Amino acid sequence: MEERIYTVPFSKVVYGRKIPRKKRTPRAMRHLKAFIQRHLRSENVIITAEVNELMWTRGIQHPPRKIRVRVVKTEDDIVTVFLA
């Protein structure tokens, strides 16, 4: 079992380009999943409900600029994302 802590930035992905307001938080969620897949080389990523709630607290138009997450990878390549 492997455990790491990452700070995932969303500022360039969501706020840097001309992204429609109604697509910002969904795009940030896709970026979070892609970031974890890229760094841990696993396709099976599970994002916990507390991370999802944090992302959506300010609504669809204003996701956080960055979040700090704790990532746990099991022996059978299942990656789970928790809040750090």
DSSP 8-state assignment for residue 21: G
CATH 3.10.440.10 fits 2-83, yes or no: yes
Q: Residue 17's pLDDT is what? A: 76
Task: Flag whether pLDDT at 15 surpasses 90.
Answer: no
Environment class of 41 (CB within 10 Å of its CB; exposed 0-12, middle 13-18, buried 19+): exposed
Residues 60 and 57: their CA atoms lie apart, in Å, by 9
Per-residue pLDDT at 16 exceeds 90 = no
User: What pLDDT digit, counting tens, does each position of 21-52 carry?
Assistant: 999 999 999 999 999 999 999 999 999 999 99
**pTM to 2 decimals?**
0.93
